[in-house]
Structure 1
Amino acid sequence: MIARRDEPHGTGLGIFRYVVERTIAWLHGFRRLRIRWERRDDIREAFLGLADCVITHRHVQRLC
């Protein structure tokens, strides 16, 4: 069981839960990744890499 925000949990699991959820939410903002249209894995992987680059660029631009 994953603890809620700002509540202690005894297992030690779920420490990075919100980072992963946020990243998956960012990736689902790209429509081509939300629903799998491509049958080939290499094309989907290319779109995933492109989405990672766009997300990283947006994050860096926000920091500057």
Structure 2
Amino acid sequence: MHRCFTEWTTARMRVKLYRLLLDELGARGELDWSRCAIDSVSVRAVTWAT
């Protein structure tokens, strides 16, 4: 199972499947972008003194 997960992750299968789903729903007019939310995570960069 781990090997399959690794291969799918490398091939970006989840992203591709998600895009196909969004394209299909968009073609049917079943997406409501007025309720769309964008989320991001910020992580402070750490610099190491040498």
Normalising TM by the smaller chain, what interval? 0.3 to 0.5
TM-score scaled by length of structure 2: 0.41
TM-score scaled by length of structure 1: 0.34
Tell me which protein shows more helix as a share of its residues.
Answer: 1
CA radius of gyration, larger in:
2
Higher relative contact order (CA closer than 8 Å, sequence separation 6+): 1
